[in-house]
Amino acid sequence: AQSVTQPDIHITVSEGASLELRCNYSYGATPYLFWYVQSPGQGLQLLLKYFSGDTLVQGIKGFEAEFKRSQSSFNLRKPSVHWSDAAEYFCAVQWRGGSNYKLTFGKGTLLTVNP
């Protein structure tokens, strides 16, 4: 079955440290790939997306993500975390083809940033 997995429910990092949030998907072909961030009480904001081409994608707020086909992964990274990055992060995939275009979210990773 098609699925999206974010294996880390909660991650805590110190301000200034590097960050990597993991996302894996299960599907027979390459889907559209997204990372969203939700700050407390806010709606979702798109950080970046991958459709095709260069597998390293740059997003807003200094985030980037790398698509690795061999690992069915789309991990989100940031070299130096700021306190304002504390939020919940969602990986999402959208299956291509047919008339479904189903959008599926992972369960989210909650990021805590220590001063």
Partner 1 sequence: EADIYQTPRYLVIGTGKKITLECSQTMGHDKMYWYQQDPGMELHLIHYSYGVNSTEKGDLSSESTVSRIRTEHFPLTLESARPSHTSQYLCASSELARAFFGQGTRLTVV
User: Tokens at residue 73, please?
Assistant: 């992964």
Does 108 participate in binding partner 1 (rule CB under 8 A)?
yes
Does 56 participate in binding partner 1 (rule CB under 8 A)?
no
Options 28, 40, 53, 115; binder of partner 1; rule CB under 8 A: 40
Separation CA 70–CA 35 (nearest Å): 19
Closest CA to 114 of 82, 77, 70: 82
Site for partner 1 in 77-106 (CB under 8 A): 86-88, 90, 94, 96, 99-103, 105
Separation CA 106–CA 20 (nearest Å): 15
User: Tokens at residue 48, please?
Assistant: 């970046």
CB-count exposure of residue 78 (10 Å: 0-12, 13-18, 19+): buried
Does 49 participate in binding partner 1 (rule CB under 8 A)?
yes
Does 32 participate in binding partner 1 (rule CB under 8 A)?
yes
- By CB under 8 A, name the binding residues for partner 1: 32, 34, 36, 38-41, 43-44, 46, 49, 51, 86-88, 90, 94, 96, 99-103, 105, 108, 110
